[in-house]
Every structure is written in structure tokens, then in C-alpha cells.
Amino acid sequence: MNRLIVVSNRVSVPKAADSKGAQGGLAVALAAALREHRGIWFGWSGNETETFTGHLNMQRQHGVTTATIDLEHQDIDEYYNGYANRTLWPLFHYRVDLTEYERSFGAGYERVNQRFADSVTPLVEPDDLVWIHDYHLLPLGKFLRDRGMNNRIGLFLHIPWPPTRLFVSLPFHERLVEHMLHYDVIGFQSREWLESFNHYVEKELGGTVSDDGTVEWNGRRVVARAFPIGIDYAEFMAAAESDIAKRAFERLKSSADGKKVIIGVDRLDYSKGLVERFESYHRFLTEHPEAAKDVVLLQIAPPSREDVNTYQDIRNTLEQSAGHINGAHADVDWVPIRYVNQGYSRAELAGFYRASRVGLVTPLRDGMNLVAKEYVAAQDPEDPGVLILSRFAGAALQLAEALLVNPHSSEEVGDAINTALSMPREERIRRWQSMVQSVRDEDVIAWRDDFVTALKGPPANANPRQAA
Ligand code: F6P
């Protein structure tokens, strides 16, 4: 079996399912990918150093070999907080209004990608498969090829790819995509993002896309495909059956005191549609006062990327909104929104999901959204809850039996909350059965195997210097 060299911005090997803290879907997925393949997971340590040295810190953590480097303050500022999270993240989530275009960010982004290339190259042996992840590292494949790497190199993008009309607002957009065309395989979360990418390559770069998904441009051939990511179903179910999950279930049930719980769990990020979600819930409370007193919304939102101003803004806005709604509707023995800024372990979340009649997952735009899948997996088969899901999340293509909503319409989401709360058990079971099948079958193991098989495919791109 080929070794796998996984490269991502962060290296965060998930600890036990009962450990606290927000664990992104990416971390769980990559640890699962590396569990079966020998190999190395390379990335930024998350630490800052005075002067960049490129020193590799190699460790063995929970069965996975990791190699990390520290970055300088300026690197973190321009690459991570800057280009990745002030430029690409908002733009790729269709928020041109929040996108900042600073030349220094672009320069820092390329500098750090070059540093990654320098550090990764000596770790790679001739038969290794190199698998790069996410928007932080889009040009890395090109920089590895520049260093003579002939290995199969793939990229998986965990977030959306924007429509061409938005993407062209990025200065030097051609350069970014031309660099990406040095991969052998590029994977997207859904057909929608894949189609936007292909459209860009055809319209702006004059490349061609054949029916089998091969993109051809300037003598290069790249397989571009959708590989929808899933949860680690077996691992999640083991966590869901743990004592910790059972205690969390009891804790939420008893504190809800017979009321139906609506749950939302999201990183505190403007793409998750939390302001709009609170507004929709407010609308539901106002328009259905008879049903309102029987429910409580638990919104768990651990803070994220706190050095970026848009994240500080959204936090302030949500605090005001939760305060406003609670002030307007609360009674001496009831508060309509429990707004919680801490993270919980996967086992605790599994218990909370199972104790909740409604899962409210309403991002304005999301590559996939694994909370939706975890909510489904955690349900009691005899008495499952209802998933309300944004049609703008990649997961909506697989979870078509959720109540699909437009998260921008507080009327539509408010109505869906009312429908979900009164949905008969037979209908809840029918919808859940169809969804859980896809969550179980299209899990992270299937995703990894599918991508790795594509990555192993026939050689397409030799070192450009040799191919030229
Ligand atoms: O997939 C989106 C993503 O940016 C991952 O790359 C990342 O691990 C996760 O969200 C959490 O974000 P951050 O690493 O910026 O805290």
C-alpha cells in the first residue's frame, strides 16, 4: 500500500471522542484517512515563532505520525488571518462584501506555501501519494512540482468553489487556478462547486472539460470530480453509545423539563447563518405563541478565528440578538435561547443531538456540513428527530429527506420549525431511514478510499520541466 503524505494548514489529530473542544470535520476525516495508510500528516503547528527556521517537529500522536512547523507572526497575519480567512474564505462563501483584497496577503500566502513546499519535499518518497487539503494550500502542488516532485499529488477542497462571476473579483485569479492545474486530481464536496470550477477553467482560461471529468489546459490533464465527504460513522456511533453520551442526553432532557429541544451546533462563523437563524426562531416564537412555550433553542457556537474582525463582529451581533430575543420572549421559568460559546466532545454532542427533536442546520453557504450528518446518525430509530437543512449546504444533495430551507427567508425557516415540531412519528421515521442510509454508506472511509483510488490512477502529469 502506498504511503500517504497528507498536508493541511492545521494538524490536529482528534483525541478520544470524549475529549472537549471543537474538532473540525477536516481533522476527524484526515485522522481516519491516515489510520489505514502508513504516512505522515504535515502542517502548521498552530504556534508562532520569532524567526522562521523550517524546523520539523515530528511526533507520533494517537497512532498518526505528524510533522509540523512553526510560522512567524507576519506569516500568520498575512497567510492565515489574511489571504486564507479575510480573502478566500469570504469570497468562496459568496461574501464579496466581506472580502478584503490586500497585496500583502497574497504575497504572504505564496510565501507560506513555498515554505510548506520546502519542508514537505524531503519527507516524500518516490511511491508516496501526496494529498493536500483546503483553501490554505491551493498553489502548493505547483510549488512541489517546481521542486521536481513527480509523485501523484491531489487536492481536496473542503469549502465551496464560487461562481465565476464572483471568483473573477480576486486579483490574480488566473495565477491561482493555473497553479492548481498542476495537481493530478482535484476533489470538491459537491457537483455544484465542481461545475463552478469547470466553468471558470473553460470560460476564463480556455481549457476543456470532457465528460469523464478530465480538465485539459495547456498540455496538462487533471481529474476534477466531486467526492462528498462523510462522517466516521463507526467511530461516531461508538461515541454515541458511550456513558458520556448517555449522561449528556439525560442532562439536556432533564433541563429541558418536557420541552422540545431545537439544537444548532456551529463554529462561530458568519457563513453558518446564525444571525438569520435567530431571526427565524424569533419569527417562529412570534407567529406561533401557542407552540413557542413548549420549545427551547440550544445554540452551541464555539468562537473561531478571533483575530479576524468579521468574526469579532458576528460574535457581537449574535450576543445582541440572543439578548434581544430572550428579553422579548422569556418568562420567569423559561428562556427561549440557550446560547453557549463553549465546545463539547463528540460523545456529549451525540447525546445532545439525540435529546433534540429538531436539528437546525442553516448555513448561508457550506461546502458540506457534517453536523447535519452527525445529527441524523445520533437519532433514536424508534423516535427520530427532524433535520432542517439549508439547501445551500453541500449536504443537501445527499440528505434530500430533510426539511430543506432557504436560510435567508425567516418565514420559510420559521414555518419549517413549526412543521418539524408537529411532524407525526411515522413521517419522521420514514425521512430518517432514508437519510441514515446515506450517512452510514457514504462515510469518511468511503470518501477516503474513493479519493485515494482516483489519486492512484494512471499517471497524468510528470514534472513540468521534464514534460515541457
Ligand atoms: O474546512 C474548513 C476549515 O477551514 C478547515 O480547514 C479547518 O480545519 C476548520 O475549518 C476550522 O477552521 P480553523 O482551522 O481556521 O480554526
Å from CA of 24 to ligand 1 middle: 6
DSSP 8-state secondary structure symbol assigned to residue 259 = P
| Annotation says 134 is catalytic | no
For position 327, what pLDDT does the model report? Answer: 96
* Predicted confidence (pLDDT) per residue in 137-148, tens digit: 999 999 999 999
Indicate whether 462 pLDDT > 90. no
Q: Closest ligand 1 atom to the C-alpha of 133?
A: 6
Beta-strand relationship, 129-133 and 153-156: parallel
Closest CA to 100 of 275, 310, 272, 270: 310
Q: Where are the beta strands (DSSP E) in 301-342?
A: 337-340
Q: How far apart are CA 439 and CA 442, in angstroms?
A: 6
Residue nearest ligand 1's atom 14 by CA:
10
pLDDT over 70 at 460, yes or no: no
pLDDT score of 467: 38
Task: Output 397-404 pairs: Cβ under 8 A, ≥24 positions apart.
Answer: 397/190, 397/191, 397/192, 397/228, 398/228, 398/438, 398/442, 399/372, 399/373, 399/435, 399/438, 399/439, 400/434, 401/430, 401/431, 401/432, 401/434, 401/435, 402/372, 402/431, 402/435
pLDDT over threshold 80, residue 32: no
Q: Whose CA is nearest to atom 10 of ligand 1?
A: 24
Among the listed residues 253, 179, 249, the one whose alpha carbon sits nearest the alpha carbon of residue 220: 179
State the alpha helices, DSSP H only, in 37-102.
73-75, 89-92
What mean pLDDT is reported for the chain? 94
Cα(292) to ligand 1 centroid in Å equals 35
Mean pLDDT within 64-69: 93
CB atoms within 10 A of CB 55: 11
Please choose from 7, 9, 272 the residue to mutate so as to test ligand 1's pocket, defined by most ligand atoms within 8 A of CB: 9
Per residue in 383-404, pLDDT (tens digit) is: 999 999 999 999 999 999 999 9
Q: How many CB atoms lie within 10 A of CB 440?
A: 17
* Largest Cα span, the chain: 75
The residue annotated as part of the active site, out of 70, 266, 269, 366, is 366
Q: What DSSP character marks residue 139?
A: T
* pLDDT tier for residue 17 given thresholds of 50, 70 and 90: low
pLDDT for the residue 22: 46
Q: What integer pLDDT is reported at residue 3 of this predicted model?
A: 92
| Interval between CA 147 and ligand 1 midpoint (Å) | 27
| 340 CA distance to ligand 1 middle (Å) | 20
Give the model confidence (pLDDT) of 290-310 as tens digits: 889 899 999 999 999 999 999
Mean pLDDT to the nearest integer, 60-75: 92
pLDDT at 34: 84
Look up residue 163 and give its DSSP letter: -
What are residue 417's phi and psi, to 5 degrees?
-60, -45
ipTM of the complex: 0.95
Minimal-distance CA residue to ligand 1 atom 15: 305
Q: Which band of pLDDT confidence, cut at 50, 70 and 90, is reported for residue 2?
A: confident
Percent of the chain topping pLDDT 90:
88
Task: Give the binding-site residues of ligand 1, using a 6 Å CB cut-off.
Answer: 9-10, 24, 26, 134, 158-159, 304-305
Burial 455-464 (b: 16+ CB within 10 A, else e): beeeeebebe
Shortest-distance Cα residue to atom 9 of ligand 1:
24
Q: Which atom of ligand 1 is nearest to the CA of 267?
A: 11
Residue 152 has pLDDT above 80, yes or no: yes
Helix ranges, 206-308 (H): 233-240, 243-256, 274-287, 289-292
The pLDDT, as a whole number, for residue 18 is: 58
Q: For position 14, what pLDDT does the model report?
A: 67
Please report the pLDDT score of residue 465 as a whole number.
44
Give residue 63's pLDDT.
Answer: 79
Q: Give the whole-angstrom CA distance, residue 18 versus residue 327.
A: 35
> What average pLDDT does the segment 127-152 reach?
98
CB atoms within 10 A of CB 241: 11
State the cell numbers at 195: 461545475
Closest C-alpha residue for ligand 1 atom 5: 26
Q: Identify whether the C-beta of residue 405 lies closer than 8 Å to the C-beta of residue 388.
A: yes
Looking at residue 358, its pLDDT comes to 98
Distance 110 CA to ligand 1 centre (A): 19
* Residue of 26, 91, 140 to mutate, ligand 1, most atoms within 8 A of C-beta: 26
pLDDT digits (tens, 9 = 90+) for 338-382: 999 999 999 999 999 999 999 999 999 999 999 999 999 999 999
**Which residue bears the cell 527556521?**
53
pLDDT band at 20 (very low <50, low <70, confident <90, very high): low
Which of 134, 227, 229, 305 for mutating ligand 1's site (highest number of atoms within 8 Å of CB)? 134
Q: What does the pLDDT read at residue 83?
A: 98
Q: Which of 23, 131, 158 to mutate to test the pocket of ligand 1 (most atoms within 8 A of CB)?
A: 158
Query: Positive or negative CA dihedral for 235, 228, 30, 152?
Result: positive
Cell 430551507 appears where? 405
Q: Whose CA is nearest to atom 11 of ligand 1?
A: 24
pLDDT at 463 over 60: no
pLDDT at 12: 79
Ligand 1 atom closest to residue 12's alpha carbon, by position in its atom list: 8
- Chain segment 236-269, per-residue pLDDT in tens: 999 999 999 999 999 999 999 999 999 999 999 9
Angstrom distance (rounded) from CA 454 to CA 224? 10
CB 457 within 8 Å of CB 129: no
Q: Cβ(334)–Cβ(294) under 8 Å?
A: no
What residues form DSSP beta bridges with 260?
A: 295
Between CA 244 and CA 72 the distance in angstroms is: 39
- Grade residue 15 by pLDDT with cuts at 50, 70 and 90: low
Q: Taking 90 as the threshold, does the pLDDT of residue 459 lie above it? A: no
158 is catalytic: yes
Bridge pairing between strands 57-61 and 64-72: antiparallel
- Alpha carbon separation from 97 to 101, 303, 310, 346, 430 (Å, rounded): 11, 22, 11, 34, 41
Nearest atom within ligand 1 for CA of residue 135: 6
pLDDT tens digits, 198-250: 999 999 999 999 999 999 999 999 999 999 999 999 989 999 999 999 999 99
Å from CA of 25 to ligand 1 middle: 8
Q: Is residue 369 a contact partner of residue 393, using CB atoms and an 8 Å limit?
A: yes
Helices (H), 360-443: 370-377, 410-421, 425-441
Whole-prediction pTM: 0.94
Q: Among residues 93, 133, 136, 158, which one is catalytic? A: 158
Residue 44 CA, ligand 1 centroid: distance in Å: 12
Distance, CA 10 to ligand 1 centroid (Å)? Answer: 8
